[in-house]
Amino acid sequence: MRLTLLGTGSADGWPNPWCECASCAWARAHEPRGQTAVLVDDRLLIDFGPDVPRAASRFGVSLAGLRHVLVGHAHPDHLGPEALMWRSWSTVADRPLDVVAPPAALEVCRAFLRRWEGTEPGGDGSPLRLLPAVAGDHLELAGPAGPGYLVRPVAARHGDDSIGPAVLYDVTAPDGARLLYGCDTAVPLPPATLAALAGRAFDVVLLEENNGDRPGFGEHLDLPDFAELVAELRALGAVVPSTRVLAVHLSHRNPPGGELTSRLARVGAEAPPDGSVLEIPPGGGRRPAGGTAPGDTGVSGTEAGGTAAPRRVLITGGTRSGKSAQAEDWLRAEPEVVYVATGWAPDGSDPEWAARVAAHRERRPARWHTLETQELEPLLRSPGPALLVDSVSLWVAARLDDPDFGTAVDRLVAAWRAARRRVVAVTDEVGSGAVAPTAAGRRFADRLGQVNARLAAESDEVWLAVAGLATRLRPA
């Protein structure tokens, strides 16, 4: 299966042509993206907004060989029926073309062509074949000779019947490669959709990620939603270790440049630019013996492109730097996470501490399991789901007056070095503030600084959080 990404942006593109925000300024200078559409093997096109024909011309791609068009819903960035009229002015006007779309989108095509061409699409003599895409149905789109594409529409969570009902597409190519096109949708996905995707072990998954760090715009995914949906698909066996996960339908609600690349890589996803051509080998996302059963994730952790995710990650930062949120983002796409809280549980005596704990709990995905303990060594040394330790600072504080502190640190560092599972730990950066006015405060800073340095020396990656942003310290 060969994919040509004719567009990877949102309805307004990225940048929005009228916008002067920092994200748009970066995209305008470095990596503009048009409306999302993907061409498969030069024969099947998924989504057909008004940007798409001109994008094909810009990238030197001919649409003359196109035989099938899939449309997810009738929003105008997904369906530009005028392109069907432009095709009728070309040398391939008489060649057959399937248009597969939900009923409301097909009616948009009919109304446009009746108005502007005076023709009845799909009628006698028409090269167009209009096929309804209904969740739960299977469509076989014939090839020129031999097998064609098997298309399974599944229900999206986007809009109402006036634009669809909107669907996502599960496509099997003639060579057996499997693709999931998840654009547009919000979460949670309908139960019937999750059931239909279970065990599919896709070779490539394209998921919309419109809302970035600014949730609440329409029925779309933001960065946390995107990561949690990837985790759910992993748990179902729809995404397996070799699946390529691509973020599409990207807008200026996302952070610019390398920041988005880094955050997507943490969940095993990537965002190739418009015009990218990707070769997806058939069966690359499946295991030999009949695929992957739901719940068999093959995790823990691959990054974009199939590289191994770092096993030991240390995130340091000052108070309110965003370090805990950064750590949570690292593991949000894991199907299962044990959140290790090393602090004391609120007992009502400190309202401010209780509010902090409540805020942390509210941010965590519901599927995460919380464990309140100071005993980190056995957790690190035993296999199991990913660990998020928050925080090393509180672990040190609890042992500040321990006469065997050095021995405890030695054991912790040895367990960190030998970690049997993926682990992300949060700690406080104590080297940037004023010297503490008390002996206890100075002793805490000294000891935490020593522990941080030793853990950092044994970490695959070390990050510094400042003002809600993260900078990688190791590897440089």
Q: In the block, which residue shows the tokens 């298309």?
A: 151
286 contacts 292 by C-beta, under 8 angstroms: yes
Beta-carbon neighbour count of residue 407 at 10 Å?
Answer: 10
Identify which of 165, 163, 237 has the alpha carbon closest to the alpha carbon of residue 195.
Answer: 237
Token code pair at residue 17: 């042509």
Q: How far is residue 377's CA from residue 349's CA, in Å, rounded to a whole number? A: 30
Orientation angle between helical segments 351-363 and 323-331, nearest 10 degrees = 30
Burial of residue 294 (CB within 10 Å: 0-12, 13-18, 19+) is middle
360 is catalytic: yes
457 contacts 412 by C-beta, under 8 angstroms: no
Identify which of 85, 77, 86, 127 has the alpha carbon closest to the alpha carbon of residue 105.
Answer: 77
CA dihedral 11, 35, 174, 148 (to 10 degrees): 70
Residue 405 backbone dihedrals phi, psi, to 5 degrees: -55, -45
Rounded to an integer, what is the distance from CA 26 to the centroid of its chain? Answer: 21
Q: Are strands 312-317 and 461-466 parallel, antiparallel or unpaired?
A: parallel
Token code pair at residue 55: 């994008």
Q: How far is residue 152's CA from residue 163's CA, in Å, rounded to a whole number? A: 19
Q: How far is residue 222's CA from residue 220's CA, in Å, rounded to a whole number? A: 7
User: Buried b vs exposed e over 141-151: b needs ≥16 C-beta within 10 Å?
Assistant: beeeeeebbbb
Q: 3-class DSSP state for residue 390?
A: strand
Active-site pick, 30, 75, 138, 360 = 360
Q: How far is residue 169's CA from residue 205's CA, in Å, rounded to a whole number? A: 10
Identify which of 73, 72, 6 has the alpha carbon closest to the alpha carbon of residue 34.
Answer: 6
Query: Hey, which residues are catalytic here?
Result: 360
